[in-house]
Structure 1
Amino acid sequence: MCGVAGILHFGRSDPVTSNILHKMNNAMLHRGPDGDGIYISKNRRIGLGHRRLSIIDLSEGASQPMSNGDGSVWISYNGEIYNHQLLRSQLETRGYHFHSHHSDTEVLVHGYEAWGIATLLEKIDGMFAFIIWDEKKNRLTFARDRIGIKPIYFTKNLGVLVIASEIKAILAHSEVSAKVSEAALYHYLTYLATPAPLTMFDGIYKLPAAHYVEVDQGGSFRAARYWAPELSNGLDQLELGGLDEGAVANKYQRSVLERLEASVQKRMMSDAPYGAFLSGGIDSSVNVALMDRYSDDPVNTFTVGYKDHQHLNELEHASKVAKLFSTNHHEVLINEKDMVGYLEELVYQQDEPLADWVCIPLHFVSKLAHENGVKVIQVGEGSDEQFCGYNSYMKYLQLHKNCFRPFQQYLPKALQHFLAKTAAKIATINPKLEIYSDAVKRAAFNQEPFWSGAIGYWETQKNPLLPGYSPSPPKGWEEMVRIGLMPKSYLSPDSYNVAHDFLNYFDAVQPGRDQLARMTYNEFRLRLPELLLMRVDKITMASSLEARVPFLDHALVELTMDIPMDVKLQNGESKHLLKKAVEGLLPNEIIYRKKMGFAAPMAQWLEGDFGKQAESEILSSPLLEEVGFNKGHISTLIKDHRTGRRDTSLLVWVLYNLTAWHRHWLN
């Protein structure tokens, strides 16, 4: 894993300098402590930077930026290509000569030459973000992997395009300044992260998952989406014809396990020490069990727990799994003091606010792995989204079936609207009912019950928080709309537009799909790439640790997106299909243990000394007046939590992250 940087000058005569590329590289030192390289073209219009974390082919011959044989194609690349050996053989058969021993970077260079960008992206299997400069075509291309495991950011202004793995590297460029994106801020309050391509920085964008952008010598963009999780690559329906329900379920179970086995095995490709995060839940335990099968040495495992709130600990369960597979097991315990001491670093590492307090334990367990010499870690993200592992998913499915559909089908529209207004009035008297009031409103106005698996503020909760909010559009929004990276509706103060855009597309290409498939698709468009995987990338890479995600192998995702809801769920049991698929791989007590989830005691911390600190920092932030937040309403939210009137910990944490970000980067 590495950090990439790129600068393209167009319509201006001043050169790209090595000084600015080194500044950008230095801002990402944590992403690549093993090497630092730059390339500047002869005409000095294009420059590439790279920070290297050596994982595959540790030799100097695999250093970057890397070129082809005649220097006409250059690349700066972050990620891993798991099928690079197969592709290398195909390219050698076509006459391409390789100078590195087994670098996957060189496969990308020659693959681009041989097949072009579209076919290359179709062929490669892995996680990646890269920048390619084609001297002969005067074209720069940058791309993000199918699922969005690796981020890449860009900004264009005054004849210069700047690209990097992290926003802090873009801000290292002297011509890029930091300013709040008001449209992104509004959606962040709901989704806990900004939806791509928006970021919290005005005019700085992130490339959505499964997209690439080509930039010509005049700076004009062309964007394309090259993969979608709804594309069918599951089981042949002819194979399932004539099978009874049990046989169909068994066939899906075998296929899930086979693709998961292949996924874990290919992700053990490494010339550096590797391990796994282990909670003792089904996802991390499956990872460890399969890693143990394919490893000659004991697997290194790492677990985090709490000194002050032990009810959240899964240490005992993780220890059982570690003993079962004889791993080299390591634990770290943290408390409120550790959390507070990390907060300033957290804001810097995240680049933009990610209102997921799991970032805190994730930092400490990542640091533990790094301190024990591990460079590669396997994580369990993506399983819950595909196999319906969250309790909230089950509640949303029940809400859709038992409430939304009957409400919309049997009640006259006038009555629906009357009930929505009445619910809103009741919620002003009793704020605990706000989320129910918003649900009635969504049903009455034909909105989806499910927008995301993690919601901060629903629309009705944002009204008193940001009264009369009218966000200014971000710089460069017209081009984002023109090239298809963003619908214009994202600029309006209504975060339903984001979820609605995703589902409109899905319903058009996959009409009649069940509600769980629609929910899962939404998660693959926003929460997974921009919150969950973003937190994994930013926090693990801050400890120079490469995280790999076996449950998000695209072949497995294509299979699970094809599986009907009634096969994934039986008798109301979440993750039923996955549990049946891994029976025999793990003891049943592990498979069928009640889910706890990776959590942090933020609700409790906000009731004590940290709550006072958070209140002071939030209410003294100049951002509140700049944007138009209602300070009195925020004070009430904080007071309600600290007095036990209601749990507003997530709402307060969303605001704390936002104001801490503003203080660090803009104030």
Structure 2
Amino acid sequence: MCGITGLFDTRQTRTPERERLHRMNESQHHRGPDEGELHIQPGLGLGHRRLSIIDIATGQQPIFNDDRSVALVFNGEIYNYLELMQELRAAGYSFRTKSDSETIVRAWEHWGEDCVKHLRGMFAFAIHDARRQTLFMARDRMGVKPFHYALLPDGWLLFGSELKSLLAHGGLSRELDPHAVEEYFALGYAAEPRTVFKGAKKLEPGHCVLWKRGEAPPQSRPYWDVRFTLDNTISQRDAEVELRQRLDEAVKLRLQSERTLGAFLSGGVDSSAVVASMAGMMSEPVNTCSIAFDDPKFNESQFAQIVADRYKTNHRVEMVKSDDFDLIDTLARLYDEPYADSSAIPTYRVCQLARQHVTVALSGDGGDETFGGYRRYRMHLMEERMRAALPYGLRKTVFGTLGRVYPKLDWAPRFLRGKTTFEGLARSSVQAYFHSVSILRGPMRAQLFSDQFKRELAGYNAFEVFERHGAAAGTDDPLALIQYLDYKTYLVGDINTKVDRASMAHSLEVREPLMDHPLIEWLATLPSSLKIQGQEGKYLFKKAMEPLLPDDILYRPKMGFAVPLARWFRGPLKQRVRDAILGERLASTGWFNRAYLEHLVDAHQSGKSDYSAPLWTLMMFEAFLRQVVDAPESIGLPVPQAAPQFA
């Protein structure tokens, strides 16, 4: 695992400044503390920070072909690299190292741009080919590894694993993109390909782009997409067997490591299944770790212990204080963009704990999206049945009116909270799902933003992200459609971003077998009825795991990985919330309606409403402004490590 960065002259062959490249590279020291290398030639500069996992002795980067006309920097792991080595040796290529990175170089020489279609793993890389005067950049299919880039007005192309490496160059403007800000307050992140800065982009998952010196800037293009055919006629029993086999294969591929390896174990279905699979194929006990919370409402460590005891793992648990909120500024620095998922706090802590014992950890991330585990999926399907019963025009009129007039009753029993349901029934499927996952929904954003900001938006709405992906989904199956939307938005922008930055802050590599793309492709052939049956999410997955995990793990209510925001904002963080949200820094943007900010704070702290998610979103935006936008001199320094808050 590594951090990559670089400079490519798209117009001429100017030689990059070593000091700039060094600053960009060192800004990502935390991603690769073992080694750091630079390569500079006319028109090109490449930087690499290495966390040594495979081929520790000879796997240094940048790595070159025999005549040094091809140079690569690469972040990630190629799990089928041994198989590819055999295939490429048979085609006449020789290898100087045992590294997966050299496999990419040879694959480029053999297949060119199609090399990326042969790779199985998590990756982001850039290949410079001096003979072709090109730079080829690619990102893995599920967006596990990040890739940022920016074309400067003077023709230099900057790229790097994290935005901070681009900012460290010194030439990238910190002008914010209002469209990205709109997306952030709707979704909690700026959606690919946008970043919060106008001049920078993210390479989308499953995309690549070929830059040729002297030609116009190219568009990125997809090399892979998931297609929900739902046409597999396999029986449920056979599907259960095949699912276990495919899970074992995905896990086995991810056990290749020359460093100590383990797994996160939360006690949920996904991480427990990964640990069960690991235990079945490892000769030594699996190293597992989990964190416990001193607030019982958020603590599921007893379930992790059940799995640890069953598989006799080397299990380590640390108690995290429920008032562990000192990470706000650290997280703002770490993510480089405003990022509003508060579970970044426990994720940071579990990575901090894991790195004390292992260098590589397997996780259960992606299981909810892949197998159909979210409660919101079941709610959406229930609403879809109601939407299907009435014409859209009638639904829009009747339920739209009810949604507008019905009061928002956060304090009431769930069966009385009809406003969201009415609003959802008045919308199309994609509109309804966007509405259900938004942190600040459309009416709230309309009140939050000032007239000045609305003019800057010029009518843009974050729903356009979902509209674009919905049009490309290729399915009208209600579950498949929203799974596809989550693959393109939430899984990439929220989950994978959270885990990558939190793990890399501690120089920990995390591998996600439930995002193995052949597994994803196979599951997309299965009918949705095997994923959700009635009120049971992850139906097939749970049935498949029954021989390996107890019902107390498989069929207990889902808890999630949460922190007590509502209590914090009425208690220990009460004044900090007021200072941040009603203070000068947010006001100085001119983008927010002061009266509505006051309403959010007062209504929450009085107990009248639970606005904890919008308040956290605002707090993290204010912290981003202070820690990143206002402090460019700090960009380029190593990310500070927050002290452990284990009790």
Please say if 1:95 is aligned against 2:85.
no
**Secondary structure, counterpart of 1:530 in structure 2:** helix
Aligned to 1:478: none
- Structure 2 residue aligned with 1:151, among 140, 146, 149? 146
The residue type equivalent to 2:448 in the other structure is: L
List per-residue Cα deviations over 1:304-361 (Å, max 9, x = no partner).
1222x22211111111211111111111222255322x22211111111221111101
1:14 is displaced (CA, Å) by: 4.5
Q: Partner amino acid for 2:454?
A: S
Asked whether the equivalents of residues 179 and 462 of structure 2 are also in contact (C-alpha less than 8 Å), the reply is no
Q: 1: CA distance between counterparts of 2:51 and 2:436?
A: 33
SS at 2:389 equivalent: helix
Structure 1, unpaired ranges of 5+: 241-246, 474-490
Which of 524, 534, 539 pairs up with 1:576? 539
Which of 365, 370, 373 is the matching residue for 2:350?
365
Equivalents in 1 of 2:173, 2:189: separation in Å? 21
Superposed, 1:323-362 pairs within 5 Å as: 323-340=309-326, 342-362=327-347
Give the alignment of 1:512-661 within 5 angstroms.
513-661=476-624
| Alignment-derived partner of residue 116 in structure 1 | 112
5 Å-filtered alignment, 1:441-460, equals 443-444=425-426, 446=428, 448-451=431-434, 454-460=437-443
In structure 1, what residue type is equivalent to 2:308?
A: A
- 8 A Cα contact 1:214 1:221, kept in partner: yes
Deviations 1:223-257 (A, max 9, x none): 2101111166x88x4xx3xxxxxx72112222221
* TM-superposed deviation, 1:471: 5.8
CA contact (8 A) 1:287 1:378 kept: yes
Query: Residues 288 and 431 of structure 1: is their aligned pair in 2 closer, same or farther, counting only changes over 3 Å?
Result: closer
Give 1:595 deviation, angstroms.
1.7
Q: Give the Cα–Cα distance (whole angstroms) in 2 for the partners of residues 215 and 567 of structure 1.
A: 43
Which amino acid in the other structure matches residue 462 of structure 1? R
Q: What is the DSSP-based 3-state SS (H/G/I as helix, E as strand, rest coil) of the residue aligned with 1:578?
A: helix
How do 1:162-561 residues align onto structure 2 when only pairs under 5 Å count?
Answer: 162-218=158-214, 220-230=217-227, 237=232, 240=233, 248-307=235-294, 309-340=295-326, 342-372=327-357, 374-402=358-386, 404-409=387-392, 412=394, 416-417=396-397, 420-421=400-401, 423-427=403-407, 437=419, 440=422, 443-444=425-426, 446=428, 448-451=431-434, 454-468=437-451, 469-470=453-454, 472=456, 492-506=459-473, 509-510=474-475, 513-561=476-524
Q: What is the CA-CA distance between 1:142 and the residue it aligns to?
A: 0.8
Report the CA distance between 1:496 and its aligned residue: 1.7
Shift of 1:103: 0.3
Q: Find the aligned partners of 1:279 and 1:629 in 2 and give their Cα distance.
A: 39
- Cα-to-partner distance string for 1:208-231 (whole Å, 9 max, x where unaligned): 100001111025224210111116
Q: Is the CA contact (8 Å cut-off) linking 2:12 and 2:214 kept in structure 1?
A: no
Q: Closer, same or farther in 2 for the Cα pair 1:542/1:454, shift >3 Å?
A: farther
Q: Tell me: CA distance 1:435–1:556, structure 2 relative to 1, closer, same or farther (3 Å).
A: farther
Which residue type is aligned with residue 230 of structure 1?
A: R
- Distance in 2 separating the partners of 1:460 and 1:627: 19
Secondary structure of the corresponding residue to residue 431 of structure 2: coil
Superposition pairs for residues 71-82 of structure 1, below 5 Å?
71-82=68-79
Measured in 1, the distance between the counterparts of 2:575 and 2:483 equals 38
User: Closer, same or farther in 2 for the Cα pair 1:64/1:597, shift >3 Å?
Assistant: same
Aligned-residue offset at 1:97: 1.4
Contact 1:435 1:458 in 2 (8 A): no
Q: How many residues align?
A: 624
CA distance 1:137–1:453, shift in 2 (3 Å): farther
Q: Deviations over 1:182-204 (max 9, x none)?
A: 11000111111111111112211
The offset of 1:572, in angstroms, is 2.3
Aligned-residue offset at 1:33: 0.2
Query: In 2, Cα distance between the equivalents of 1:147 and 1:647?
Result: 34
| Cα distance in 2 for residues equivalent to 1:251 and 1:621 | 61
CA distance 1:471–1:218, shift in 2 (3 Å): farther
Give yes or no for contact 2:424–2:436 (8 Å, CA) kept in 1. no
The whole-number CA distance in structure 2 between the counterparts of 1:621 and 1:661 is 14
TM-score w.r.t. the length of structure 2 is 0.92
Give the C-alpha shift of residue 138 in structure 1.
0.1
| Partner deviation per Cα, 1:552-599 (whole Å, 9 max, x = no partner) | 100111111222121222232111111111111122322222221222
Relative distance call for 1:557 and 1:430 in structure 2 (3 A) is closer
Residue matched to 2:32: 32
SS at match of 2:471: helix
Structure 2: how far apart are the matches of 1:412 and 1:169? 52
Structure 1 stretch displaced more, 443-452 or 221-230: 443-452
1:56 is aligned to 2:54: yes
C-alpha distance in 2, partners of 1:429/1:268? 49
Cα pair 2:12 2:213 within 8 Å, conserved: no
2:80/2:120 contact within 8 Å kept: yes
Change (3 A) 1:647 1:179: same
Q: 1:533 & 1:429 partners in 2: Cα distance? A: 33
Q: Distance in 1 between matches of 2:188 and 2:269?
A: 26
Question: Is 2:581–2:622's contact at 8 Å kept on the other side of the alignment?
Answer: yes
The whole-number CA distance in structure 2 between the counterparts of 1:95 and 1:17 is 38
Q: Which amino acid aligns with 1:381?
A: D
Q: Is the 8 A contact 1:439 1:449 kept in 2?
A: no
Q: Which TM-score applies when normalising by structure 1?
A: 0.89
Q: Structure 1 residue 11: deviation in Å? A: 3.3
The sequence identity of aligned pairs, in percent, is 32
Provide closer, same or farther for how the CA distance between residues 578 and 453 of structure 1 changes in structure 2, counting only shifts above 3 A: farther
CA distance in 1, matches of 2:172, 2:417: 40
User: Residues 583 and 560 from structure 1, CA distance in 2 versus in 1: closer, same or farther, beyond 3 angstroms?
Assistant: same
Stretches of structure 2 that go unaligned for 5 or more consecutive residues are 631-647
Partner of 1:21: 21
Please state if 1:106 is matched with 2:93: no
1:142–1:212 Cα contact (<8 Å) kept: yes
Distance 1:503 1:299 in 2: 41
Q: Secondary structure of the equivalent of 2:324?
A: helix
Cα displacement (A) at 1:430: 9.2
Cα distance in 2 between the residues matched to 1:535 and 1:604: 23
Q: Distance in 1 between matches of 2:543 and 2:409?
A: 47
Q: Assess if the C-alpha contact under 8 Å between 1:375 and 1:546 holds in 2.
A: yes
1:85 & 1:191 partners in 2: Cα distance? Answer: 40
The letter of the residue matching 2:53 is I
Distance 1:356 1:452 in 2: 17
| Distance (Å, rounded) in 1 between the aligned partners of 2:24 and 2:491 | 27
- Residue 139 (str. 1) matches residue 134 (str. 2): yes
How far does residue 442 in structure 1 lie from its aligned partner after superposition? 5.6
**Alignment partners' CA distance in 2, 1:292 and 1:627:** 55
CA distance in 2, matches of 1:53, 1:12: 33
SS of the residue aligned with 1:163? strand
